[in-house]
Structures are given as structure tokens and as C-alpha cells.
Amino acid sequence: GGWIEVLDSAMLIMTRLLAAALLHSQLCSAAIAPAKVNLSVESAGWSDGSQAAFKLDGKLLYATKTTGLTVAIVRRTGEGVEMDAIEEVKTFNTMKGSEELVTYLESLEEGTMVLMGVADSACCRLTTAGKVKIEEFGASMIRNLKFRSGYALIGIKGGNALAEALVHEGEGKAMVQAEMQVAQPPRRALVEGSMVDMSVESAGFSDGNEAAFKLNGQLLYATKQTGLTVAVVRRTGDAVELNAIQDVQTFNTMRGSDELVTYLERLEEGTMVLMGAADSACCMLTTSAMVKIEEFGAAMIRNLKFRSGYALIGIKGKSSALAEGLMHEGKGRVTVQAQVQVADPAERPLCKARVAEPSVKGQLLHNSLILDAGCRYELRDRDSMASGLAGSWLVMNGGSNMLLVFHALAMMLAPTDFPSETFPEIWTNYMIDIIIENGRVTSSQNIKVQRSPCERIHNASSHGVCKEHVAATLEGVPKYTDGRIRITMFLNQFWQAVPWVVDVVEKDDGWSGAKVAFVIQIGTWYSLCNIQKFEGCHRPELKHETEHAAVLRFNAEMNVALDRLEPTCSPGGRAGELGCIIGTGAWSSAGGALGASFRRLDSEVRIAMRSRSSVTFRLLDFFTLGAAMPEETIMGHGSLVFAGWAWQIMLGGFDTSQVDGATHAKKAHQMLFSGSVCSARHANLNHCPNYANFCNRWKPDICELWMCMNSETCEHVISDGEFHAVDGGSNRACQAAAALSVDTAVPGITNLESCKAECIKSLSCLGISFDSENFLCGLWNETVQISSTIAKAGSICLRYEGAAAMTTSSTTDSVITTSPPSSTTQIVSSTSEAATSIMVSSTAGATTTSSATSTTGTLSSTTSSTSSSAETSTTGTTTPIDCFRDTVDIDFEHSSLVNNNLDGQGPLQGPREMRFVGVIRDYQGAPIDLVITATSTYRARNIRGTGLRGRFGQISVAGGSSVDLNFRFVKSTTNEAVWLPKFAFTFSDIDQGRRGRAPETIEVEGFARFVVVAGHELAVKRVTPTRMSFGSTKMGAKCDNPRHPLQLKEVKCKGRRVDQAKRSVMLLFTKTHSFNATFRVGKSRRGRLLVFAGLSSLAAECSPNTSNQCTDTRSDWSDDFGNKCDKYASLSHGSQCTKHGHEDYGKGPAHAVCCACGGGSHPAAGHDDGLSSSFVDSGHLAPIRAHWPASLLEQSTAEISRRKQSAENAAKQSRFLAPNNLGLTLTQAKTMLFSKPPDSLWPKGSNVQRTWQGRVYSLLPTISVSP
């Protein structure tokens, strides 16, 4: 949808910047030999388990059942694998196409290690280009991949595969493993002012090709550039700053040394440097250059050879180096380290936050933001934040990143009121308005994105009605008091709406006494629309214009907004006290045109603010702040850690009491978060089970780690205390009076930082023991004291010294009950006053649509031209309609109507409902029922007309009456509501009697889109902002009733030609388990039928894949619906042989038979007869119905003999001969009548079953087959 800023995965591969495992050993010049672990991949096709899983030493890192090929980037430091080994993971459905996979693999750098595994199947649209890219990672078996094969690979781009396996269907799982070095063991606790290790690693081309610099094991800088890299170390006196790299340059000494000599000459005496060689640095390294290097204490440089590794830590003017190492080619990498004193960040002066542009350039190191400006920001705990914001109203505008920043602040202020179960719901809102008192949310109002007057907020013509709706909604907010904090978030991805948001705030009387601040970050979506042509973009003009024109548009709209904000944000204005913040875009590693566009728009923001910025109209460079902690960003979205630091800076700017060089501030300089996953470094779907369960229910292939890392409840703490290692700390477990176990550990803690935060929160904590292998965090105090430590890999024992800066707020009892999207949220809060109950309802609405053209937005109409001929669908002139390929399959034909007693009217006894059992055969492993109930009085014309008719459900309604109906989907076994991600529902046969009597009208609400054909015969009207009606305009009779929803076509009825498609409407529903409809019949003594089904032939056709087009256009070939092969390569939906509405290969019923174009070869789905594996391998497909010509039965004796027995068994078990259940291709299916039945058995055009030679056959002439 358009409300999530999903950046192109191929452009946003995260740089492998800050390693989690850290170095601890004695000063030496020899290479360090880390421990070994087994990295493994398991893959199973559909029949063998349908899962791809990645493991480290048997412990699950990631698993998915999503169809296709899953690729995981392995997080490494040098050649060592980190314990949190998955840096990024992406699944590509190569049953649909390979373009995204190719782009993604192309973007990965040489040397990148990946894990690849198949779930379900990955073969059928995996192109040669895709296989070539996989082979770049050393693969040798990928070209043998078949339908539902298991495939597993551990490979390195540009190198050989470390392990690879391929197992075909029915043979079990493909499993591979490779023994890997572990990155250096957990870091020794950093104590500012103490001695820690600074290290240099160097590897020549054959041994890893990298130069890397680290402080206390944490990566400072790494490069693979050829030559000698020199880094100048930032120091205060003799102490090294945590942001230790002041300057870094690489000199290609394979070409010359003059630049290196000049650079080293300019450095002052006493300058500390780190030097490391990558690839090779020897061959043009002159004597004068070696002399200059020796000025830093080097003694080995003259022994440098081709592709040697060389590492140096030295100080200019010292006679000997602090550490130096040399390793020749083939001997491995060289690692040297020296102990250095670390400067204490707490001693830095406070930064000025209330300035035109606060300083943000630096690095996040050891939970401290170390700024190049040499200062630190005052940190605030929850109580300090709340007291500083009391009586304030913060108004935020932006896209998904700003929504995450909003969510972070709300969680920091009221952590118990934002459980992870509620996280998905925030994404359904255009506006969220909350009030926080005493650490609890006491009021919440929202306006939904979909089906509300603000649904088309991207269209300027909708601003007026949205503005009115926002103002009316905010009028119901509890009035201002000086103890309340109000935060309002507007999901505005473009600048256009900002001016009227300012108007609404300024005119709000209920909070006229509050101090107001605006926080705005807008820009990303201009790039996504213009450069990426992102399908979720709702501004087509940006898609179609040049980049220059888009930048001009961005500037024009931004300047209008800034001009409106400037007086408001100036002293004396509505926000003149706290001020306003205009932000640049979020940091991302996007490259190419998209990354250039991001940076260009950020530059435009800076230019626009240059003449406007002041202490109350501030510019905050979110991009540069994100660059200070790139490991806290995934797919262009920051973590709670990033948002927490952003708020500390912004709150400092809101503090009007701040004085330059203030001494009242606490010395706390570290901020930690306590929770299962608060940092991007710990993002793992196993650590956010509620979000993982949610997205797996909706659409597993959109489970995003950046959503995961922001979904769990986290509390922040600040501290000026220090953790000291006990007995060296690393790989030592504390021995306490009570052993650390699952029973004694702090629950829900998955990382060391959160364990430290738990200790800081507990004022009696004296230290921690953390087991990184089993995710166990133990706290020790005066009762549970540490007696000693024992050796234990992956554990660390730390002593804590210092007072915690966090205090616990007093809270009142509160209950928040939230429901899934589009439902009502009730917040009940009890305070010292009378308890109040606030109902927050989603307000659905829609924009005015036309039945003749398609419109953009999430609720729109689309016209589609459909017939049984080769006519193409039309979708208007703006955004094409969804192809309905991934809708859940609703199949009335194979369902059973077990309850048929709507409103107690019969014709059967039992519950007052209609229950279609198994209308969805298999969803998440269980059958789903459709239950229809009447929520108003129901009168039938002929109650026996209410029921199941073939492929349709129908309800008889008396003339002059109406009935309100609720359609809901439930599990067959438990009756539990089932939220479906996307499904289509069609109402057909909307007609009336003679002379306009008994006209039919169906009113529906809650859908995302509706589809009618061009020239339709319906009266389409908007009843309310949430409801549409579709009424009859033409006479109809029983003989024109449709028989198949996928064959809505023109028929003859009583001398008239009736197009069934023109009297039908198809609706698309998303993320819901139910919907409401009303069926009305005009006055008449006769009644009418409400006829309904699932997906229909109104579904717009998808763009064909030209590589799979049918080249033989013989018109005497057709599929089950009469569609000709010259248009339909293999099925009436397009060029692929796949079910209608799905590409879920091999699952559920199919509704068509593929064309075998011209009887010859056709490349669809990798079969030489044009039949895809989804057809031949499913056990639920409809039987082939054909009149077989004699010439097609003349097949080889061997083929007949091989298939005879299985065919006989199948024929005995079924009334129909169903060759597809036997795993046959279409060509093979034609041999199934292994001896010719007499033609007299079936008169031409007959539609009956016949027994012949002990077998039952159903030969229906709906497929015309030519030799």
C-alpha cells in the first residue's frame, strides 16, 4: 500500500558497518585464530516440508515458508561470521519472475557471503539471467532446479560455493553446512578512561583483501581498495576518542608513492596513525615512502612483498611502533593491537540544541553519541521528558520514518500502553492524536487511511473535506491542562497538506493554552514516485515528469509550506516558544539515481532553510544523524535507538531554559534500551513474535525487519555508571549463589545492551551475567552476589558501578483494547477523577468515482472490458487495477452448504445463518467457512431459491423488501474469525423485471476497489462516504443467469443478447474478516435473487510476458473457457499457466485447462507442452474434459504400459477421468485412453458419463482438440 515507504531492496543493501563481536587478547603481531561454528541451510519443496531455514551451530537464525528463493546476507567481520549472522534477508518469488532477484544480486559487492534456500518451489520463472547471477556465488547445480525441488547454497560473490545441494521433489530436504570462523569473541566492557584494545587487520588479495581498523573490537573503518590505507586517530591529550578516526586516506602504492609521502610529511609530531594494506601495496612503494612510514616506528615495511598483509599502529616521532605485523601471501591475515586509553565522553561540554542547526555529525559508540563537535547532548529519562513536555502539543508530519519517530516518543513516555500487538494498527491511520498523563495514554483519536475523507490526501482537491474532518475529529479531544502531553501525527508524504494542518492547529480552541511545536520530515516520496516509479505512489504527475520538473515541484510545494510555517514558528507565533523542526530525509545506503535523488532533495531542504532557520525554526539533519549510526537503519528506516537519540536532540531544542555551558545537566552520556529487540543489530523475526505472526497471517513476503525492530515495547534508560569486566569478562560466566537459568533470567532479553539496561533500571543491581548463546540475562545484587567466574563461551560477567538516571513514574490503572485494522479502538482510563470512556472509531470514506474510468487511491472503481473473445481489459488512464493474482481463492463450487436457515426462514432447520463449509479449501493449513447472517428482517420470495447453485451462492428476496447481510469468514473447526489479506467477491445477475419492476440494488461497504466493465448496465452511486450501491437498469430472465463466474459472457435469452459481465460488479477486500451489504428489491409481486461468487472474469488481465507468448495462433485451439491461444499463452489470465486469481502453484483448485498452443512447444512454466507444474502436480484440479480425436490416441506401447495401472486406479476412485491428478503433462494426458473407446459411445455434443471396459469416463466436448 501507499502508506509504507518500502524502498527498493536492490538499492538499499545495508553496508556492513559496525560488527557486534569484539576483540580481546594480548598485544601481539600474529593473526588471531577465532573459534569455529557451522553455518547451515535447509531447503524443502512443497511436498517435503516447504521451508527454507538458516542456522548457526544448529540454532535457528531465520525460517520462511514463503514461495520462492530466499537470500540472506551474512554479517561478517573480516573472514569471521558474527553470532547475529543475518544482516538482511529477502525472498524472491521466482515462480512469478526473476527481475528483482537479478537486480538485488547485482547490487551486492564482491566478497559478500550469502545463504540461499528454496521453499515451496522456485523454478518456473527463474530465468537464465537469474541463474547466471546465482552462479556468481559459486553455484553449479542451479540450472538443474525443477518444480518443487529443494535447493541450498552457501556462497561468496566472486568465489566458490562453500556448500551446495539440490534435491528433487519427494526426495526429502536439501541440507548443507560449512564450517566458519567466528568473529572475535564478545568485547571486553568499555570503561571510559581505561585501557582498551585498538587493532588493525590487513589481508592481501589471496587472504581476504581487506584493511580494517577497530577500537575495542568495534569496527571503525574497513576498505578493500588496493594499496596502503592510513587513518589519523582522533585524540584528546593521550586519550583516544571513541570516534577515533579523524581522517582516512587510501594510497595506491601499486602505482606510485608521491601522494603518500606528501600526506605523511604534513602530519605533526605526535600524530597517531593506523596503517593497513589491502590487495597489494608493495610494487611502487618507494624508498622515500618507506622512510616516511618508519618515522611512525615501523620496522618491517622494507620486507613488504606482492599481496602481503601489513598492519601498523604508530605515533609520528616515536622510535618504535605500538604494534606492527607482516604476513606474506597465503599465510592468512595479520592482526595487530595495542592498548590505548579512551577519553571519557562525560567530561565533554554540553552541545547547544536550541540553535538554528544542532550538531549531529559523529558516531554512536558504546551507547554514546560521540560528536565531531566535541560536545555531548543532555540526556533525559522518562520523568525528565514528561516534565519538560507537560502542557505541550507536538504536531508531526511526514511518512513512515516520521511515524516511527512518533511511535518511539509515545513509547518512551508511556511504554506500557504500546504493546507489540498494537503496532500494526498504527499503519492504518492517516492521523493519530494521543494525550499522555502520568505515563499513561488517556485519550486516542484517529482517522484511517482508507475509507475516510482523507483517503485521497495526495490529491489537492481532497484537502478541503479532509481538513474539515480533521478539525471535527480534534474537537472531541479532552481539553488542555498543564499536565497533559498531546502528540498528533499526520501521515503526510508530500508538502501540500502542511499549510492547512497549521491552520487547524492555530484555530483549535481547546488547546489554545498549550505550547506548540511542529516536527516535519518530507521528501522521500517525491523520489520514490519520480525515480523509482513506485506503484504505491498516488501522484501520477510525479511519475511522468522529468527529475528536474519533480525537483521544481518539490521546491514549490515546500516553499509554500515553509512560508506558511515561518510566522507560526517565529517568536510570538503559535509555535514561537518551543519552535519548529524541519528535517532532512532519513539516512539510507541507496545508490544510483534513487540515492542521488534523496541527496538532491536534502540539499534543497538545506538551501530553503538557510535564509529561514533560527533558534525557533530549526533544521535537523536526520540524514547525517543516521549516518552516525548506520547500523541502526534497515531499508531506509531507523530503529528505536535512532529515534531515541533524535528525540534527545529535539527535546533539548524545546527546552527554553537551556543555557550555554549549563552545569545542571546530569553527566549521563549513555542511553540504552531494554526490550527483546530495540536495535537494528538485533532485528530478527524470532525476537518480535507478535509482528511476525501478524505479517505471516497477512502476507509473509512483506515481513520486514525494519518493522520488526520497531514493533516490540522498549524502555530507555540513561546512565553515567560504568560496567567493569570481572576476571576479564569475555567468555566468563558469573558464578552466583543461584545459577543462571531460564527460570532465574530476566524474561524477554535477547542482547547485552538490554541486559545492561535492566541492571540500570534496577537500583539495587551490582552487575550482570549474560549468555549470548541462550539469550539469558542475570542480575546480581547484595542477595545474589558473585563469588567467582567460570569459563563459558559466549558469556560475559560485568560489575556495575554508578547510579541509574532512570526513575519509575507513578502510573494509574489503564486498559487499552485494540482491534485489527478498520475496527473500533476503546481506551478506558481510570484517574483520580471519574473514569472516562473514549470510543475511537475508524471513519471510512471514499472519493467520488466514475464507472467509466479508473481512479487512483485505495478505494476506486475500474472498468474492465471482458468477453470470451480476445478483447483486452481497460483500466482507465491513471493507475492500473490490481491483477487480483494474489487473492485468496473463494470457491463455492467445491463448498458445502451445511446451514441454510437465514434469519430462521429455512428451508432447513438449525442456526439462523447460511454456512458454506470449505468455501476456502486451505488457508494457513485449515479450511475456511463463509457464514452469512441477516442483521435485519429477511423476507424471501421463494425460500428454496436461497442456497447454493453450482458455482454461485444465492439469496431469494421478496419484492418490495430489503435485507441487511453480514458476510464473515471463520475457521471450520473453531469458528474463529479469519482475517484475509486480500480476496475478491462478485455480485452478478443484477437485473430487473419487465417495465422496470422489481429493480435490484446491492449496497456494499468496506471494500478497497470495485470493478465494472466498460459499457456496464449498472447504476453506480455513492450512498454514504463509506458505502456504494450498484443497481439494475436492464430487464433479465432466468435464461441469462451466469453459470460460471469466470465465464461471464454474452448469451442469448428470449431473443435478446445479454452480456453477463455488464450486469456484474467485482469488489476487492483487503485485510478483513467480514463485510456488510444490503440487498433491495423494488415493488413487485415477484422477488429477485442476489447472486454471488468469488473471483470472476471481471479481473483485469495482467501484462503478458512476451517471452512466454504463444507463437502458434491457430484458432482451433482453446482453453476450457473458449479463449483462443493466440491471445492466451496458456490460460485465460495471461501468459502463465496458473490459477485464476493466484500464482500459488500447486495449491487449491484450478478453474481452467491450459492451452497447448498449436499442439507444439510453448515455454510456459518450463514444460514443452505449455502446461505448468501448477496444473500437473496438484491433486485438487478440475478434471480435463475433452473429446479426444483418434489420431491423438496413437501413442507408443511403452508409454501406454507405463501409465496404464495408475490410470486404472484413478478411474476406479473417481467418476471422472482426471489425468492431472497423476502428475501428467497435457501431452501425456492425451494418452490416457490407452485403447480407443467406440465413437458411438458419445454422440457429438453429449454431456454424460459412460462405462467402458470397467472404467467410468466423462468426456465433455468443451475443449476442441486438433491433431
pLDDT-derived band at 779, boundaries 50, 70, 90: confident
CB environment 515-532: b (16+ within 10 A), e (fewer): bbbbbbbbbbbbbbbbbb
CB environment 22-61: b (16+ within 10 A), e (fewer): bbbbeeebebbebeebebbbbbbbbbbbbbbbbbbeeeeb
Write out the H or E segment, with its range, that includes residue 673.
strand 670-674
pLDDT, one tens digit per residue, over 745-755 is: 777 787 888 88
Judge whether residue 1211 has pLDDT over 90: no
What would the grid cell of residue 910 be? Answer: 438449525
| Angstrom distance (rounded) from CA 988 to CA 1001 | 11
pLDDT-derived band at 594, boundaries 50, 70, 90: confident
Strand partners, 177: 40
Task: Provide the residue type at 212 as one letter.
Answer: A
Percent of the chain with pLDDT strictly greater than 70: 73
| pLDDT, average across residues 760-780 | 81
Highest mean pLDDT: which of 22-31, 233-242, 1141-1150? 233-242
**What pLDDT is recorded for position 702?**
61
Neighbours of 1029 (CB within 10 A): 18
pLDDT, one tens digit per residue, over 1108-1134 is: 333 333 333 333 334 433 323 333 333
pLDDT, one tens digit per residue, over 1088-1107 is: 999 999 998 887 533 333 33
Please give the DSSP secondary-structure letter assigned to residue 844: -
Phi, psi of 133, rounded to the nearest 5 degrees? -65, -35
**What pLDDT is recorded for position 1163?**
28
**What pLDDT is recorded for position 230?**
97
| Angstrom distance (rounded) from CA 1252 to CA 1237 | 7
Judge whether residue 131 has pLDDT over 90: yes
Q: Are 778 and 691 in contact (CB under 8 A)?
A: no
Decide which of 448 and 517 is more confident: 517
Highest mean pLDDT: which of 66-70, 674-678, 827-831? 66-70
Judge whether residue 450 has pLDDT over 90: no
Judge whether residue 54 has pLDDT over 70: yes
Q: Which range among 742-751, 929-938, 1085-1094 shows the weakest confidence by mean pLDDT?
A: 742-751
Q: Are 184 and 22 in contact (CB under 8 A)?
A: yes
Place of cell 570462523: 181
pLDDT, one tens digit per residue, over 1127-1146 is: 233 333 333 333 333 322 22
Alpha-carbon dihedral angle through residues 678, 680, 683, 687, given to the nearest 10 degrees = -10
Task: Provide the residue type at 15 as one letter.
Answer: T
| Angstrom distance (rounded) from CA 1079 to CA 934 | 11
What would the grid cell of residue 1205 be? Answer: 495401472
Highest mean pLDDT: which of 134-148, 683-697, 763-777? 134-148
Show Cβ contacts of residue 287 under 8 Å, excluding neighbours closer than 6 positions: none
| Angstrom distance (rounded) from CA 75 to CA 680 | 13
Question: Which of these, 23, 2, 3, 24, lies nearest to 728 by C-alpha position?
Answer: 24
ω into residue 821 within 30 of 0, thus cis? no
Strand partners, 780: 767
Strand order in the sheet with 579-583: 440-448, 429-437, 485-490, 392-398, 515-521, 579-583, 617-620
pLDDT-derived band at 1253, boundaries 50, 70, 90: very low
DSSP string, 946-960: SEEETTEEEEEE-TT
Percent of the chain with pLDDT strictly greater than 90: 38
Alpha-carbon dihedral angle through residues 376, 381, 383, 389, given to the nearest 10 degrees = 50
What would the grid cell of residue 224 be? Answer: 578493500
Strand partners, 718: 671
**What pLDDT is recorded for position 742?**
59
**1260: helix, strand or coil:** coil
| pLDDT, average across residues 57-66 | 79
Decide which of 670 and 886 is more confident: 670
Place of cell 456504494: 1028
**What pLDDT is recorded for position 871?**
30
pLDDT-derived band at 493, boundaries 50, 70, 90: very high
DSSP string, 1159-1172: GS---GGG-TTS--
Decide which of 946 and 853 is more confident: 946
Place of cell 540524514: 623
Judge whether residue 459 has pLDDT over 50: yes
Judge whether residue 557 has pLDDT over 90: yes
Place of cell 540475562: 777
Please give the DSSP secondary-structure letter assigned to residue 347: G
Judge whether residue 460 has pLDDT over 70: yes
**What pLDDT is recorded for position 744?**
66
Decide which of 433 and 1152 is more confident: 433
Q: Are 275 and 200 in contact (CB under 8 A)?
A: yes
**What pLDDT is recorded for position 1024?**
62
Beta strand 174-181 pairing with 150-156: unpaired
Q: Which range among 8-22, 142-156, 364-378, 553-567 shows the weakest confidence by mean pLDDT?
A: 8-22
| Residue 628: burial class (beta carbons within 10 Å; 0-12, 13-18, 19+) | buried
- In angstroms and rounded to an integer, the radius of gyration of the C-alpha atoms of the chain is 34
Show Cβ contacts of residue 1201 under 8 Å, excluding neighbours closer than 6 positions: none
Decide which of 220 and 863 is more confident: 220
Place of cell 480435463: 1184
Show Cβ contacts of residue 913 under 8 Å, excluding neighbours closer than 6 positions: 899, 901, 902, 931, 932, 933
Q: How far is CA 1064 from CA 169, 552, 999, in A?
A: 42, 45, 14
Question: Which of these, 563, 580, 430, lies nearest to 490 by C-alpha position?
Answer: 430
| Angstrom distance (rounded) from CA 654 to CA 394 | 10
What would the grid cell of residue 472 be? Answer: 471535527
pLDDT-derived band at 273, boundaries 50, 70, 90: very high
Q: Are 977 and 815 in contact (CB under 8 A)?
A: no
Q: Which range among 447-456, 720-729, 1039-1048 shows the weakest confidence by mean pLDDT?
A: 720-729
DSSP string, 49-80: T-EEEEEETTEEEEEE--SEEEEEEEEEETTE
Q: Are 159 and 147 in contact (CB under 8 A)?
A: no
**What pLDDT is recorded for position 735?**
75
Write out the H or E segment, with its range, that includes residue 337.
strand 334-341
| Angstrom distance (rounded) from CA 305 to CA 717 | 51
What would the grid cell of residue 346 be? Answer: 562525560
What would the grid cell of residue 136 be? Answer: 556468481
| Angstrom distance (rounded) from CA 139 to CA 160 | 7
pLDDT, one tens digit per residue, over 849-870 is: 333 333 222 333 343 433 333 2
pLDDT-derived band at 424, boundaries 50, 70, 90: confident
**What pLDDT is recorded for position 15?**
26
| pLDDT, average across residues 1061-1081 | 89
What would the grid cell of residue 725 be? Answer: 569486566
**What pLDDT is recorded for position 105?**
93
Judge whether residue 276 has pLDDT over 60: yes
Q: From start to end of 1120-1230, where are the E strands?
A: none
Judge whether residue 1034 has pLDDT over 70: yes
pLDDT, one tens digit per residue, over 913-924 is: 999 999 998 888
Q: What is the mean pLDDT of the chain?
A: 75
Q: Which range among 489-493, 589-593, 1171-1175 shows the weakest confidence by mean pLDDT?
A: 1171-1175
**What pLDDT is recorded for position 758?**
85
Decide which of 1151 and 384 is more confident: 384
pLDDT-derived band at 757, boundaries 50, 70, 90: confident
**What pLDDT is recorded for position 924?**
81
pLDDT, one tens digit per residue, over 950-965 is: 899 999 999 989 999 9
Judge whether residue 1249 has pLDDT over 80: no
Judge whether residue 607 has pLDDT over 60: yes
Helix, strand, coil shares, percent, the chain, to 5: 25, 30, 45
Highest mean pLDDT: which of 448-452, 746-750, 772-776, 963-967? 963-967
| Angstrom distance (rounded) from CA 268 to CA 894 | 84
